[in-house]
């Protein structure tokens, strides 16, 4: 009698542990709104008020938004590059490019801000970094010679919801592929511990 009871329980356990092979829920609703880089869940934006270095420089002026996407322009085509005044308007003062055989550090040019929702217990915390393969260009965090650290897949920055990290741009002119170069970079964010 005990053996029969055990067999029945074993059969029930076998039947009860099967995984669902297929399921159809019927129609459900989803809404997605496309916004510009400055307002997305992982936002790419100018530092607060376009200022950086505690208001001493306006490196946010090198940020341009084209079709709602952040871009960086260190050329004479940028009407606001390195100029004083409003980062949206600029004025007639300022340079139009980098010197031959020079190295520039543009601290806190733009920021990556985590605008994802926080439901507590670490939810919404992400690591961010920048993928790029542009000769002569390095993205970094920090604002002084001893604190500037490249931000890449080997040096990631953790952000809780609402936090931001300011990103600088190092340009080594002699390493650029040409005197007038264009390139692309990719900002990556992943949930902490996701393993990418």
Question: Which position has the token pair 């542009």?
Answer: 134
Q: Which residue has the tokens 């007038």?
A: 180
Q: What's the token pair of residue 41?
A: 């869940």
Could you read off the pLDDT of 71-108 as tens digits, one per residue? 998 887 776 554 455 555 555 566 778 999 999 999 99
Domains of the chain: 39-191 (2.60.40)
Across the chain, mean pLDDT equals: 79
Burial class for 129, CB neighbours closer than 10 Å (0-12, 13-18, 19+): buried
| pLDDT surpassing 90 at residue 129 | yes
pTM comes to 0.76
Q: How far apart are CA 54 and CA 103, in angstroms?
A: 22
- How many CB atoms neighbour CB 169 within 10 A? 20
Query: Do the bridges between strand 149-150 and strand 63-66 make them parallel or antiparallel, or are there none, so unpaired?
Result: unpaired
Please write the tens of the pLDDT for every residue from 147-170: 999 999 999 999 999 899 999 999
pLDDT in tens, 23-43: 777 777 777 888 889 888 899
CA dist 28 and 66 (Å) reads 34
- Determine the pLDDT at residue 10: 44
């Amino acid at each position: 009698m005990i053996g029969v009871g055990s067999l029945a329980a074993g059969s029930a356990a076998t039947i009860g542990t099967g995984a669902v092979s297929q399921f159809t829920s019927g129609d459900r609703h989803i809404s997605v709104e496309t916004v510009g880089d400055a307002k997305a869940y992982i936002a790419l934006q100018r530092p607060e008020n376009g200022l950086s270095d505690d208001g001493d420089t306006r490196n946010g002026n090198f940020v341009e938004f084209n079709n709602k996407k952040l871009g960086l322009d260190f050329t004479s085509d940028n009407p606001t590059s390195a100029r004083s005044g409003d980062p949206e308007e600029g004025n007639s003062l300022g340079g139009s490019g980098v010197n031959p055989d020079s190295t520039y550090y543009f601290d806190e040019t733009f920021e990556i801000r985590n605008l994802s929702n926080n439901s507590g217990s670490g939810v919404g915390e992400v690591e961010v970094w920048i993928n790029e393969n542009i000769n002569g260009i390095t993205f970094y965090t920090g604002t002084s010679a001893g604190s500037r650290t490249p931000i890449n897949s080997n040096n990631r920055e953790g952000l809780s919801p609402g936090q931001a990290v300011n990103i600088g741009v190092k340009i080594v002119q002699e390493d650029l592929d040409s005197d007038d170069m264009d390139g692309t970079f990719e900002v990556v964010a992943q949930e902490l511990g996701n393993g990418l």
